[in-house]
Structure 1
Amino acid sequence: MKAYVVENGLYTWKEMEEPSVHPNEVKVKLITAGMNHRDLMIKERVQSQEAFILGSDGAGIVEAIGENVTKFHVGDEVIINPGLNWYNKNEAPPEEFEIVGVPYNGTFAEKIVIHEDFVAEKPSHLSWEEAGVFSLAALTGYRALCTQGQAKKGETLFIPGVSGGVNTFIIQFAKAIGLRVITTSRTQAKLDMAIDLKYDRGLETEDDWVRELHDETVDLVIESIGGKTFNRSLEVLKKGGRIVTYGSSTDDIFSFNLRQFFYGQYHMIGSTMGSREEFIELLAFVKQHNIKPFIDTSFSFDELDRAFTYLEKQNQVGKIVVRFND
């Protein structure tokens, strides 16, 4: 079985043994997969001589089922829920929580075997390309906005970075709930490219956000950029407002004014991925509101080297699809 792996700190192609199906597991022949920023970072974290298959998102057709499987049958069209071993919507993931794609073999291969609890029926309103890039980003965005952010109709959300896969979901979710959405990008061109997300107001990264938003009352900020924008985002948040952080694409470690923070009575909340319970809620939500991933481009499975180069440049707006049936 052809796969794209991390081995000895390097990304490479490798012929892997096709996985066997054990009790309560299903084997899925993948039709599409999705790329995430996480895929770029794995080689910094894994220096093992053992080869691990990369990739967290995917969609395909059930090819075989193990003993005791009750939820699926051969031929079912499914998507992968990459948040393993996290069942209930609680304050933080359990210690056994893992993500598909290192240390569990991922979706950048022709087939994947996974426990039936972390597979779901492919939403009928999503194409194969849309289903393949859906789960990780959508689940991360849903928990950040709805569970941790407690977003409410009529509030104003400020979310730096219009083009990230998670943020393109958050903006759509927020508009479906009834929030006013203000977002940013490094260029006006990217803001224009994302206009179909129907955000209410767009700023460029280098704008003076405080001056530009003096007439706005920002109830909620969702941050994923980290050190380069965190303090600037906090400056536009109303006193007593909520700031949720689910990632850090720039500096993980930086300083902020603690006295200003507690005088402002701000609420800071961390978030990551989401539980199986939230995944089920998410699927119902996107079906109700006909929400789909915002797709930038696609590559064939054989073009994964090129796809990684494209992802590293961070010029995309939305998700990058990997196709297996070319």
Structure 2
Amino acid sequence: MKAYVVQNGNYLMTEVEEPEVGVNEVKVQLKTAGLNHRDLMIKHRAGNNDTYILGSDGAGVVVEAGENVTRFAIGDEVFINPGLNWYKKSEAPPADFEIVGVPFSGTFAERMVISEDFAERKPEHLTWDEAGVFALSGLTGYRALFTQGQLKETDTLFIPGVGGGVNSFIILLAKACGARVITTSRERDKLKAAEKLSYDKGILTDDSWTEQLSDETIDLVIESIGGKTFNKSLDVLKKGGRIVTYGSSTNDEMTFDLRKFFYGQYKMIGSTMGSREEMHELLQFSEKHRVKPIMDRQFAFSEIDQAFDYLASQNQLGKIVVNF
């Protein structure tokens, strides 16, 4: 079968052996798969001499089930939960936590095999395109926003960077909760285009955030940009407020004023992906509020190189999907 892999530090389409189904596993014929920034960075983490199938998000139809499978039957429509081996909500992932797509074989293949525990039924309110990009962004956003960030409907959320898939999802979830949401972009046109997310206020990345937000009380900041914006985000957070970080698209290392931090009684919390329990909470929340991921562009599987180039350009607003 065809698969898109990383091999010797290079991305390429190739033929691979079709996986066999274990007793507790299902084989899924993929209909759609979603791109994430993790896919861009994975070649720096993969072993040079091995071949790994990329892709963390996907949705399709069960075409084979192991003899001990009880949750699914052939023909069921499912999506992949990429957060493997993390069952219950906890302070941190278990030691054997793994993400689909290196080293565990990913969704950029015509078929994949996965434990029945980490497949979920496709929500009826989602199209195949939406289901194929739902899980990683949705789960990452849900845990950061509600489990770690403890967002309430009376809160004001500040989230720098409106364009990415996770941040777009976080804005949708926060607005569904009833919170006030403020975001940023490097480009005024992108802020305008992102009005479909129904955020309450948008400012430019290069603006003075303290001036622009002087009349706001920021209860929660969710940061994914890292060193370039972290201190600016901290400057607008109210005393005693919460800052959650789930990523770092710029500098991983930075300095900040520790004395100012402890005098301000700030709370900083890390977040990564989420548990199966949180995935089920996300499904209930999204079905209740009809939350759907914002879609940007779609590509055929044969055009996946162009999809990667487009993702790397950082011009997207929402999710990029691949159709098989």
Class of the TM-score when normalised by the shorter of the 2 chains = over 0.9
Q: Which residue of 2 aligns with 1:310?
A: 310
Q: Which residue of 1 aligns with 2:250?
A: 250
Aligned pairs for 1:217-228 (under 5 A) are 217-228=217-228
* CA deviation map 1:139-185 (0-9, x unaligned): 00000000000000111000000111001110011011111000000
2:305 aligned partner, one-letter code: D
2:13 aligned with 1:13, yes or no? yes
| Equivalent position SS for 2:39 | helix
Aligned pairs for 1:21-60 (under 5 A) are 21-60=21-60
Q: Which residue of 2 aligns with 1:292?
A: 292
Q: Which residue of 1 aligns with 2:147?
A: 147
**Structure 2: how far apart are the matches of 1:68 and 1:135?**
25
1:42 aligned partner, one-letter code: I
1:253 aligned partner, one-letter code: E
Q: Which residue of 2 aligns with 1:108?
A: 108
1:71 aligned partner, one-letter code: R
**Residue 14 of structure 1, CA deviation:** 1.3
Q: Which residue of 1 aligns with 2:271?
A: 271
Q: Which residue of 2 aligns with 1:75?
A: 75
**Structure 1: how far apart are the matches of 2:269 and 2:98?**
21
* CA deviation map 1:185-234 (0-9, x unaligned): 00111111111100000000001000010000000000000000000000
| Equivalent position SS for 1:58 | strand
Tell me the C-alpha RMSD between the 2 structures: 0.5
Stretches (4+) displaced over 4 A: none
Q: Which residue of 1 aligns with 2:131?
A: 131
**Structure 2: how far apart are the matches of 1:134 and 1:49?**
32
**Structure 1: how far apart are the matches of 2:233 and 2:287?**
32
**Residue 267 of structure 1, CA deviation:** 0.2
| Equivalent position SS for 1:315 | coil
**Residue 67 of structure 1, CA deviation:** 1.4
2:211 aligned with 1:211, yes or no? yes
1:301 aligned partner, one-letter code: F
**Residue 47 of structure 1, CA deviation:** 2.9
1:237 aligned partner, one-letter code: L
**Structure 2: how far apart are the matches of 1:70 and 1:206?**
53
**Structure 1: how far apart are the matches of 2:172 and 2:314?**
21
**Structure 2: how far apart are the matches of 1:13 and 1:294?**
27
**Residue 266 of structure 1, CA deviation:** 0.0
| Equivalent position SS for 2:109 | coil
| Equivalent position SS for 2:203 | strand
Structure 1 spans left out of the alignment, 5+ residues: none
**Structure 2: how far apart are the matches of 1:61 and 1:264?**
51
| Equivalent position SS for 1:242 | strand
**Structure 1: how far apart are the matches of 2:33 and 2:286?**
19
Q: Which residue of 1 aligns with 2:97?
A: 97
1:130 aligned partner, one-letter code: E
**Structure 2: how far apart are the matches of 1:118 and 1:35?**
19
1:295 aligned partner, one-letter code: M
**Residue 94 of structure 1, CA deviation:** 0.3
**Residue 48 of structure 1, CA deviation:** 2.9
**Number of residues of Structure 1 aligned to a counterpart in Structure 2:** 324
| Equivalent position SS for 2:146 | helix
TM-score (norm 2): 0.99
Structure 2 spans left out of the alignment, 5+ residues: none
**Residue 17 of structure 1, CA deviation:** 0.4
